[in-house]
Structure 1
Amino acid sequence: MGQQNLSIAVVGSGFSGIGLAIGLKRAGFTDITIFERADDVGGVWRDNTYPGAACDAPSHLYSYSFEPKPDWTRRFAEQPEILDYLRHCATEHGLRPHIRFGTEVTEAEFDTTRHRWRVRTRAGDSHEFDLLVAACGQLSNPATPKLPGMDGFTGAMFHSARWDHRHDLAGARIAVVGNGASAIQFVPLITPDAKSLTIFQLEVHWISRKPDRVYPRWRHALNRRLPVVQRLSRLGIFLWFELVLNPSLISPRGRRLLSAPVRTLCRYALRSVRDRRLRDRLTPRYEPGCKRILTSSEYYETLNRPNVRVVDSPITEIVPDGVRTSDGEHHLVDTVIWATGFRSQDFVAPIRVVGSHGQDLDTAWKDGARAYLGLAVPGFPNFFLMYGPNTNVGSGSIVHMLESQIAYVVQAARLLAGGVASMDVREDVHDRFDAAAQHRLGTSVWNQGGCDSWYLDADHRNTNNWPGSMTGYRRRTRRLDPADYRLQH
Structure 2
Amino acid sequence: MGSGRPSVTIIGSGFGGLGMAIALRRAGVEDITVLERADDLGGCWRENTYPGAACDVPSHLYSYSFEPKSDWSRRFAPQGEILDYLRHCARKYDVLRHIRFRAEVTGARFDDGENRWEVTLADGTVHRTDILVSACGQLSRPAWPSIPGIESFGGEIFHSATWNHDYDLDGKEVAVIGTGASAIQFVPQIAPRVHRLRLFQRGAAHVLPKPDYAYPPAVRAVFAKVPFLQRLSRWATYWTLESRALAFTRFPQLMSAVDLRFKRHLRHRVPDPEARARLTPTDPIGCKRILLSTDYYDALTRPDVEVVTAGIEAITPEGLVTADGRRHVVDAIILGTGFAATEFLAPMRITGRDGRDLHDAWAEGAEAHLGITVSGFPNLFLLYGPNTNLGHSSIVFMLESQIRYVLQAVRRLARGDVRRLEVRAEAQRASNEVLQRRIGATVWDRGCNSWYTTDSGRNTNNWPGFTFAYRLATRQLREADFVPQPADAR
TM over 0.5: yes
What aligned pairs does 1:33-432 form with structure 2 within 5 A after superposition? Answer: 33-243=33-243, 245-251=244-250, 254-256=251-253, 258-271=254-267, 272-419=269-416, 420-432=418-430
**8 Å contact kept, 1:4–1:31:** no
Matched, 1:469 2:474: no
Match of 1:444 in 2: 442
**8 Å contact kept, 1:4–1:29:** no
The separation in 2 between residues aligned to 1:146 and 1:292, in whole angstroms, is 22
Runs of 4+ in 1 over 3 A off after TM superposition: 1-4
Match of 1:460 in 2: 457
**8 Å contact kept, 1:200–1:312:** yes
Structure 1 residues 212 and 3, CA gap change in structure 2 (3 angstroms): farther
Letter in 2 for 1:431: R
Letter in 2 for 1:401: M
The separation in 1 between residues aligned to 2:3 and 2:462, in whole angstroms, is 33
Match of 1:10 in 2: 10
Residue 107 of structure 1 aligns to a residue whose secondary structure is: strand
Shift of 1:260: 2.5
The separation in 2 between residues aligned to 1:201 and 1:127, in whole angstroms, is 45
Shift of 1:27: 1.0
Shift of 1:49: 0.3
RMSD of the alignment, in Å? Answer: 1.1
**8 Å contact kept, 1:3–1:28:** no
Letter in 2 for 1:266: F
The separation in 2 between residues aligned to 1:59 and 1:396, in whole angstroms, is 12
The separation in 1 between residues aligned to 2:192 and 2:175, in whole angstroms, is 14
Residue 91 of structure 2 aligns to a residue whose secondary structure is: helix
**8 Å contact kept, 2:310–2:322:** yes
Letter in 1 for 2:435: A
The separation in 1 between residues aligned to 2:363 and 2:344, in whole angstroms, is 13
Shift of 1:222: 1.1
**8 Å contact kept, 2:75–2:214:** yes
Shift of 1:205: 1.0
- Write out per-residue CA displacement over residues 337-377 of structure 1, whole angstroms, 9 at most, x where no aligned residue: 00000000121112111000201110000011000000000
- Write out per-residue CA displacement over residues 450-478 of structure 1, whole angstroms, 9 at most, x where no aligned residue: 42111111111110000110000000000
The separation in 2 between residues aligned to 1:88 and 1:350, in whole angstroms, is 30
Shift of 1:3: 7.8
Structure 2 segments unaligned to the other structure (5+ residues): none
Structure 1 segments unaligned to the other structure (5+ residues): none
- Write out per-residue CA displacement over residues 224-259 of structure 1, whole angstroms, 9 at most, x where no aligned residue: 11111011111111111212x1110111xx322x32
Residue 421 of structure 2 aligns to a residue whose secondary structure is: strand
Letter in 2 for 1:154: G
**8 Å contact kept, 1:110–1:117:** yes
**8 Å contact kept, 2:47–2:161:** yes
Letter in 1 for 2:304: N
Q: Percent identity?
A: 52
Residue 147 of structure 1 aligns to a residue whose secondary structure is: coil
Shift of 1:427: 0.6
**8 Å contact kept, 2:248–2:255:** no
Letter in 2 for 1:33: T
Letter in 2 for 1:400: F
Residue 170 of structure 1 aligns to a residue whose secondary structure is: coil
Matched, 1:486 2:471: no
Shift of 1:4: 6.2
The separation in 2 between residues aligned to 1:343 and 1:123, in whole angstroms, is 24
Residue 261 of structure 1 aligns to a residue whose secondary structure is: helix
The separation in 1 between residues aligned to 2:3 and 2:330, in whole angstroms, is 58
The separation in 2 between residues aligned to 1:104 and 1:218, in whole angstroms, is 44
TM-score (norm: length of structure 1): 0.98
**8 Å contact kept, 2:4–2:415:** no
Letter in 1 for 2:266: L
- Write out per-residue CA displacement over residues 127-153 of structure 1, whole angstroms, 9 at most, x where no aligned residue: 111000110000000000122222221
The separation in 2 between residues aligned to 1:286 and 1:348, in whole angstroms, is 29
Residue 313 of structure 2 aligns to a residue whose secondary structure is: strand
The separation in 2 between residues aligned to 1:425 and 1:149, in whole angstroms, is 46
Letter in 2 for 1:391: T
What aligned pairs does 1:22-37 form with structure 2 within 5 A after superposition? Answer: 22-37=22-37
- Write out per-residue CA displacement over residues 402-427 of structure 1, whole angstroms, 9 at most, x where no aligned residue: 00000000000011111120111001
Shift of 1:2: 6.9
